[in-house]
């Protein structure tokens, strides 16, 4: 379980951050989707050596789904084999990861009997924010046709059914850009994806730009295209997106998470030190009150003596 303030979100399988291989139309030879053009389908396989991976920033992650029949599956976290910890409704659940490191989890089939099946429905993430304490947070969506978003070259198109925003911005020309300024602790970008979707370059402030392949083996109107690591909410940030090739890239909306008060994990301030500082402050205030009271009493005594001498 995360010790800080997480940014929780679910990830449907058509996503730029989820990769299944091999992807086929038959579960006996690889991954097959329960529907070819939907946002919430299930992907299943019976094929040995088939795998599904997911890249993310966060404290906790889980794959929802089930294993039917006699099948042996393996889980690797950042390239290291890890024991499976499952809960009802989930194939595995991992907690307590480093939220400022990009992680990769991979689920693969080691052996499978006839009739067995591995089915995955979605990933769940407690995403990273710039916080190591439990604080209040706000999560909100911003449609791409909002006036705060600036577009250069991207074209407006009506969104498909099931999209958050009625308008989607699309580009098939390298160099087209979009940007938005905001105050927050984390961002995710959503939009349509398909087998022909192209490359999207994303940059936060002056950090190094990241190029994402937004394609997916099936078409979906609402794919997770990108997730940022957590960052400070004490300043205004600029998120920039750029079409990086001639294949279409589509953006429907941005989702933001903001932690209202935070403590940076880089400070490493122990709770005992915080408590000690508070107690020390209280003691200092008490001493100042005593000193002030004594000085006020002496001043009043001097005034009284002077008044007595003047009146005698």
For the segment 69-111, what is each residue's pLDDT rounded down to a tens digit? 999 999 999 999 999 888 889 999 999 999 989 999 999 999 9
Per residue in 168-221, pLDDT tens?
999 999 999 999 999 999 999 999 999 999 999 999 999 999 999 999 999 999
pLDDT on residue 36: 75
- The whole model's pTM is what? 0.81
What is the largest distance, in Å, between two alpha-carbon atoms of the chain? 115
- Residue 62's pLDDT is 98
Could you tell me the end-to-end alpha-carbon distance of the chain, in angstroms, rounded to an integer? 79
Strand-strand pairing, 137-143 and 253-259:
antiparallel
DSSP line for 267-282: T---HHHHHHHHHHHH
Q: What is the pLDDT of residue 40?
A: 80
Residues β-bridged to residue 57: 102
Q: What's the sign of the alpha-carbon dihedral 116, 121, 126, 128?
A: positive
Q: Edge-to-edge strands of the sheet including 177-182?
A: 149-152, 177-182, 237-243, 199-204, 210-213
Are 215 and 251 spatial neighbours (Cβ–Cβ below 8 Å)? no
pLDDT exceeds 70 at position 263: no
Query: What is the spatial distance between Cα 96 and Cα 60, in angstroms, rounded to a whole number?
Result: 6
- For domain 137-259, the question of CATH label 2.60.120.260 is answered with yes
Measured from the Cβ of residue 170, the count of other Cβ atoms closer than 10 Å reads: 18
Bridge partners of 242, per DSSP, are 177, 201
Judge whether 7-127 and 137-259 match in fold. yes
**Other CB atoms within 10 A of residue 182 CB:** 17
Compute the distance between CA of residue 185 and CA of residue 4 in angstroms, rounded to an integer: 12
Q: What distance in Å separates the CA atoms of residue 58 and residue 55, rounded to the nearest whole number?
A: 10
pLDDT classification of 284: cutoffs 50, 70, 90: low
Domain boundaries, the chain: 7-127, 137-259
More confident: 302 or 255 = 255
**Domain 7-127 CATH assignment equals 2.60.120.650:** no
Mean pLDDT of the chain: 86
Q: How many CB atoms lie within 10 A of CB 42?
A: 17
């Amino acid at each position: 379980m995360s010790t800080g303030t997480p940014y929780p979100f679910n990830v449907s399988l058509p996503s730029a951050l989820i990769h299944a291989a091999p992807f086929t139309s038959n579960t006996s030879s690889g991954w097959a989707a329960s529907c070819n053009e939907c946002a919430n389908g299930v992907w299943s396989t019976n094929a040995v050596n088939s795998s599904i991976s997911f890249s993310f920033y966060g404290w906790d992650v889980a794959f929802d789904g089930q294993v039917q029949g006699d099948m042996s599956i393996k889980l690797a976290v950042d390239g290291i084999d890890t024991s499976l910890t499952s809960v009802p409704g989930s194939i595995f659940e991992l907690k307590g990861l480093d939220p400022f490191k990009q992680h990769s989890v991979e689920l693969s089939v080691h052996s499978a009997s006839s009739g067995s099946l591995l089915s995955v429905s979605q990933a769940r993430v407690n995403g990273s924010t710039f916080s190591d304490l439990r604080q209040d947070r706000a999560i909100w969506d911003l449609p791409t046709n909002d006036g705060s978003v600036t577009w250069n070259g991207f074209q407006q198109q009506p969104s498909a059914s099931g999209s958050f925003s009625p308008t989607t911005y699309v580009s098939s020309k390298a160099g087209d850009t979009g940007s938005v300024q905001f105050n927050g602790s984390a961002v995710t970008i959503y939009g349509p994806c398909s087998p022909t979707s192209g490359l999207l370059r994303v940059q936060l402030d002056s950090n190094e730009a990241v190029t994402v392949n937004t394609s997916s083996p099936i078409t979906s109107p609402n794919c997770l295209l990108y997730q940022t690591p957590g960052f400070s909410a004490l300043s205004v940030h600029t998120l920039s997106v750029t079409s990086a090739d001639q294949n279409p890239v589509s953006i429907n909306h941005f989702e933001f998470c903001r932690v209202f008060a935070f403590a940076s994990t880089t400070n490493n301030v122990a709770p005992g030190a915080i408590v000690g500082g508070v107690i020390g402050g209280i003691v200092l205030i008490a001493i100042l009150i005593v000193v002030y009271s004594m000085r006020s009493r002496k001043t009043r005594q001097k005034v009284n003596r002077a008044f007595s001498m003047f009146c005698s």
